[in-house]
Amino acid sequence: MNIKTFKIFLLLIPVLVNGCATTKGNPDPFENVNRKIYKFNKTVDKYSTKPIAKTYSKLTPKFVQTGVKNFISNLDNVPTAANNLLQGNFNKSLEDMTSFSLNILLGLGGLYNISSELGLEKNDEDFGQTLGVWGFRSGPFLMLPFLGPSTTRDISGKVVDINTSGKNLLSQKSDRNNLRFVGLIDKRSQYLDFEKFLKMQFDEYAFIRKSYLNRRQQKIGIDEIQVDYISDSEILEIE
């Protein structure tokens, strides 16, 4: 076992042990700390990520933004294919790799989404979802510094996702890091308009928590979240 694999194993222990991973009654036992981290993330975003994202959205031509989205989305087909395979979705896994290959060969390396034009479905799977399909519970809700909402299970999944990302196909570390940064800014630019909607909520943190947990539950298809815990301040349901 190499050092990288060993580190992944250590970070997976909270999931594999699954001792404190119950969400019954209270999915957010660390709420006080999580709220402080949420405020920290908002401050960092206000003075760094958001201004860069606004500049990127304003000055970058739309066709370039579309190309960036397509390129990153196509690389994501690689871990998605692997996770579909681990979940037993063999047809979807084949579909993911077919999409990846077509976009590379016919879409100028992935800048054009040829596979969608041919009717191939875009799937979205990660190792956190795979763990959920395997039967591991989500565990407590966590607000991670810089990374945002997660759970005990999903943070363990993120470690695997990072090490199996399609971005690792790039040979140079500097290229991988640059692509991650561009992807972060591009993704943040997509949520600029969402801020107006978020500010309408009575409790931003509670709304984000519920949104995240419900979305993950829907993706995994397992009824494990006690929605009775959600407070009355969360006035909007997530579709």
Q: Which residue has the higher pLDDT, 175 or 205?
A: 205
Tokens of 170: 């790039």
Report the pLDDT averaged over residues 74-89.
94
Q: Is the pLDDT of residue 238 over 60?
A: no
pLDDT of residue 25: 67
Residue whose entry in the numeric block shows the structure tokens 């370039």: 64
CA distances from 190 to 63, 65, 75 (A): 14, 10, 19
Least confident of 109-118, 192-201, 209-218: 192-201
Residue 228 — pLDDT band, cuts 50, 70, 90?
A: very low
pLDDT of residue 171: 76
Q: Is the pLDDT of residue 151 over 60?
A: yes
Q: What value does the mean pLDDT of the chain take? A: 84
Q: Is the pLDDT of residue 176 over 50?
A: yes
Residue 234 — pLDDT band, cuts 50, 70, 90?
A: very low
Residue whose entry in the numeric block shows the structure tokens 């995240």: 212
| Nearest CA among 89, 151, 152 for reference residue 124 | 89
pLDDT of residue 64: 95
User: Is the separation of the CB atoms in 28 and 140 below 8 Å?
Assistant: yes
Q: Quick count: other Cβ atoms within 10 Å of Cβ 133?
A: 18
CA distances from 102 to 29, 44, 179, 215 (A): 46, 39, 21, 29
Written as one letter, the residue type at 214 is N
pLDDT of residue 33: 97
Residue 13 — pLDDT band, cuts 50, 70, 90?
A: low
Query: Considering just the CA atoms, what is the radius of gyration of the chain in Å?
Result: 19
Report the pLDDT averaged over residues 50-64.
95
pLDDT of residue 168: 80
Residue whose entry in the numeric block shows the structure tokens 């040829």: 114
Q: Please provide residue 89's backbone torsions phi and psi, each rounded to the nearest 5 degrees.
A: -90, 75
d(CA 82, CA 106): 22
Q: Is the pLDDT of residue 146 over 80?
A: yes
User: Is the separation of the CB atoms in 31 and 37 below 8 Å?
Assistant: no
Report the pLDDT averaged over residues 127-153.
93
Q: Is the pLDDT of residue 222 over 50?
A: yes
Least confident of 50-54, 81-85, 234-238: 234-238
pLDDT of residue 56: 95
Written as one letter, the residue type at 97 is M
- SS3 of 60, please? coil
Q: Are strands 148-151 and 141-144 parallel, antiparallel or unpaired?
A: antiparallel
Report the pLDDT averaged over residues 45-56.
95
**Alpha helices per DSSP H over 87-203:** 90-106, 114-117, 127-133, 152-163, 173-189, 194-198
132-135 own/partner pairs: CB under 8 Å, 24+ apart: 132/216, 132/220, 132/222, 133/87, 133/220, 133/221, 133/222
